[in-house]
Amino acid sequence: MAGTVVASTINNDTGLFATNNAYLGIAKAWVNFQGGNGNTAGTINGSFNVSSITVNGTGDYTVNFTTAMPNANYCTISNVKYATNAGASLVFGSSLANFAGNPTTTSVRILCGYGNNSYVYNMELVNIAVLGS
């Protein structure tokens, strides 16, 4: 006798589809947050599977996941808005001497930089999406 699957338990707030664990190749987590620049650094505007943002220092943030990733071999996609300069970029593990942020299953550390990646800044807005299996 086959088991019965009830759609309401699969697709509720804590069910398989709610955590995206039933799908491969789609975002396992995403967040839109204020990075600083006159805003409250680390304030989350919207998110999925992100419990909090830790502010480690200027332009240095840790994105903490609500549900851990199955491994640390995921892909991060990002963009930022820096209010006074359209040339801002997001840097992961750059040549900056003080950066030591390897991804883990529970978080990813990011560093926001500008120009030749020698300078870190609090960006007005930071967007991160995490893709993985």
Encoding tokens for residue 8? 């309401």
Domain positions in the chain: 24-131
pTM recorded for the entire structure:
0.72
Give the pair of three-digit tokens for residue 9.
């338990």
Pure H helices in 51-117: none
Residue 31 tokens read as 């967040």
49 SS3 class: coil
pLDDT for the residue numbered 94: 44
- Rounded CA-CA distance 72/74 in Å is 6
Say if residues 127 and 45 touch (Cβ distance below 8 Å).
no
pLDDT for 53 equals 94
The pLDDT assigned to 125 comes to: 85
CA–CA separation, 16 vs 67, rounded Å?
12
Q: Are 59 and 111 in contact (CB under 8 A)?
A: yes
pLDDT band for position 95 (cuts 50, 70, 90) = very low
Residue 115: closest CA among 75, 79, 86? 86
